[in-house]
Amino acid sequence: MSDESDWSIPPVLRPRPELCDFDLERALEAVVSLRAQVPEDAFTAPILGTEREGSAVLLEGGRLAVTIGYLVAEAERVWLGSERGAVEAHLLGYDFVTGFGVLLLLGRLPVAGLALGSGAALRLGDPVILAASGGPSAAVQARLLARHEFAGYWEYLLEEAYFTAPAHPHWGGAGLIGPDGKLVGVGSLLIEAEAGPGRPAAANMVVPTDILVPILDQLVRKGRVDRPPRPWLGLYVVEAGDRLVVSGVAPGGPAHKAGVERGDLVVAVAGRAVVDLADLWRKVWALGEAGIEVPLMLVRNGRRIDRVLRSIDREQMLRRPRLH
């Protein structure tokens, strides 16, 4: 675990109770520390590690917690803790489409959870609090810098994500608390965003809880959402100017088996040109569900190369959590 000084936010950036229309201390108590243990032979272990730490947010009722899924993917054991104690938790489900992970507490923490809220009414510039575990010294008084589409290199796309600043240095699983004291998002990434014309700023990308609400019950009851699995290629692609460059392939995944290589340029899907990362994933997913063949047009060292990838359901590559 990091020592407390590593987690401390400068006092000038911390939220002030007198400026909140809710019980700030009680809200921050709902954000707890998370530690996950993942088997060494897990698919995600080489990328995300076997010992993962971050935050999770207890929901109302105290039996469920929500976090960002990459912290708990394939976790065999998960522990949640606060100044009031620690409990073990079980991973109920990880939804690749939204990026949320939902946990069941196997014991009780004497902490009131947060209600799920909605960020639909949030406007740019509105005050929000991004809180990691650790109380006021681990919380940032931020503002909503932007809200727009976000595409990730790991075959991920949100129609709308929130971007907040100042940036929180410990964003993974941090809770985004709205002006009404409810949970409106969960921290996912540290990125560079536009603070104004030509003014880049460090910001956090936050996944809105509005997209968790419709699927939460399914994740709790079934561990996954009742939707056809998207075709997964095991392809990591980044934007470099106006080019889409393969930065890597998942070992044993469809792209690896089809001979796609790092440095290849992706120019078309099923004969249709792609213009950016979001367009690439949309065109792949539009072909059908997992198992569909995905024709890619690539450029390698100036030469056109065509490859057909037999997509799979990403979950086939992952270990299922076991209840201890």
Among 26, 34, 235, smallest CA distance to 136 is for 26
What is the rounded average pLDDT for all residues in the chain?
94
CA dist 75 and 320 (Å) reads 8
What's the one-letter identity of residue 270? A
3 pLDDT above the threshold of 50: no
Q: For 165-219, how does the pLDDT look when each residue is reduced to its tens digit (9 = 90+)? A: 999 999 999 999 999 999 999 999 999 877 667 777 899 999 999 999 999 999 9
- Residue 131 pairs with which residues in a beta bridge? 139, 175
The pLDDT assigned to 26 comes to 95
CA dist 218 and 181 (Å) reads 25
3-class DSSP assignment, residue 124: coil
The residue written with tokens 């100042």 in the block is 166
Q: For 113-143, how does the pLDDT look when each residue is reduced to its tens digit (9 = 90+)? A: 999 999 999 999 999 999 999 999 999 999 9
324 pLDDT above the threshold of 90: no
Q: What is the pTM of this model?
A: 0.93
What's the one-letter identity of residue 168? H
CA dist 308 and 131 (Å) reads 44
Q: For 214-266, how does the pLDDT look when each residue is reduced to its tens digit (9 = 90+)? A: 999 999 999 999 999 999 999 999 999 999 999 999 999 999 999 999 999 99
Asked if 266 contacts 274 with a C-beta cutoff of 8 angstroms, the reply is yes
4 pLDDT above the threshold of 90: no
The pLDDT assigned to 62 comes to 87
85 pLDDT above the threshold of 60: yes
5 pLDDT above the threshold of 60: no
CA dist 297 and 266 (Å) reads 6
The domains located in the chain, with CATH, are 23-113+215-222 (2.40.10.10), 127-210 (2.40.10), 235-317 (2.30.42.10)
The residue written with tokens 């002006």 in the block is 179
